[in-house]
Structure 1
Amino acid sequence: MKCPHNAHVAIVDGERFILMQNTGKPFEPKLTVIEEPVLDPSNFSAGVRHQDDVGQKLGRTQLDELAHGAAVAEWLNGKAIEGDLEDILIVADPKSLGEMRNHYHAELERRLIGELDKTVTSESLEQIAKIIANA
């Protein structure tokens, strides 16, 4: 996957959010950590959609994880609207990515260069860069 030089990369799972930047080449990314924002996951609106009995019995309803995904999307929306993000690639576990999509602002969507549905928060920077390059 092409990741332009200086593009931001959001690495997300149900508990962590790390904002990185590609300081390498588009097809040979080199990632640098910019920040790991502390979020206040307060949007539990996903709970309405995940109230089914089957999801609760099988443990698929993790409201805290979904609220975290919503909080990340809201944070990214704010940065996109302020003009602090030009190009953004989002790499998130499938559940978080699905929830985040429900909260994307049009300005964030305009700046989105791609999404990868993978859990990579515990991987090294080099491994994440390889995953992006091979996507």
Structure 2
Amino acid sequence: MLVRKDSKVIAVDGSRMAMFKNIGDAFAPVLELIEEHKNPSLRTSELGTDRPGRSFQSKSPSRGAHEQVDLQQQEEDRFVSEMAQRIEQIVSGSDAAIILVAAPRALGVIRKHLGPKTSARLLAEIPKDFGPEDTEPLAKMLAKHDA
């Protein structure tokens, strides 16, 4: 994939967001960290302590339990939606090409929150899970990726 010099690469997962700038060549990107956000990982007991709900049938003695909500996933989705707002700000304040690399689930949440102008400005959306400290493997993946 051709990653122009000064292009921005944004890597997002449920717990981190990192924005890099390509300071290398178009065919051999070298990524420099510009901005990073981390979601403090809380234990499930800190997120909520409720037990699953119960339902009762009025005509029979049977009972049923409701499925418990995945509080960790809700927290990750909240963080990713906040990062989508940050991506909106980045794209609106810059004319650089933007490449978005995100975990598949995070990419789905981000797509819901991006406006049409921002989505149109994205050079590529890559559904891969790369953390912010994975700079070198991320650069190698971008060099080999077909867009």
Distance 1:31 1:76 in 2: 18
State the structure with more CA Rg. Answer: 2
Q: Secondary structure at the match of 1:37?
A: strand
- In the alignment of these two chains, the number of paired residues is 118
Q: How does 1:29-44 map to 2 (within 5 A)?
A: 29-37=29-37
Distance 1:111 1:7 in 2: 12
Q: TM-score, normalised by structure 2?
A: 0.71
State the identity %: 30
- Post-superposition Cα deviations, 1:41-93, rounded to whole Å, max 9, x if no partner, equal xxxxxxxxxxxxxxx67x6x811111111111111102222x23521101110
Cα deviation for residue 127 of structure 1 reads 1.1
Distance 1:122 1:77 in 2: 19
Residue in structure 1 matched with residue 24 of structure 2 by the alignment: 24
* Unpaired segments ≥5 residues, structure 1: 40-55
* Unpaired segments ≥5 residues, structure 2: 40-66
Amino acid at match of 1:69: V
Q: Does 1:79 align with 2:90?
A: yes
Q: How does 1:2-21 map to 2 (within 5 A)?
A: 2-21=2-21
Structure 1 residue corresponding to 2:126, chosen from 105, 108, 116: 116
Q: Secondary structure at the match of 1:36?
A: strand
Structure with greater strand percent: 2
Question: Structure 2 vs 1, CA of residues 2 and 10 (structure 1 numbering), >3 Å: closer, same or farther?
Answer: same
Q: Does 1:63 align with 2:78?
A: no
Amino acid at match of 1:19: M
Structure 1 ranges of 4+ moved more than 4 A = none
Residue in structure 1 matched with residue 103 of structure 2 by the alignment: 93
Cα deviation for residue 38 of structure 1 reads 5.8
Is the Cα–Cα contact under 8 Å of residues 80 and 107 in structure 1 kept in the other structure? no
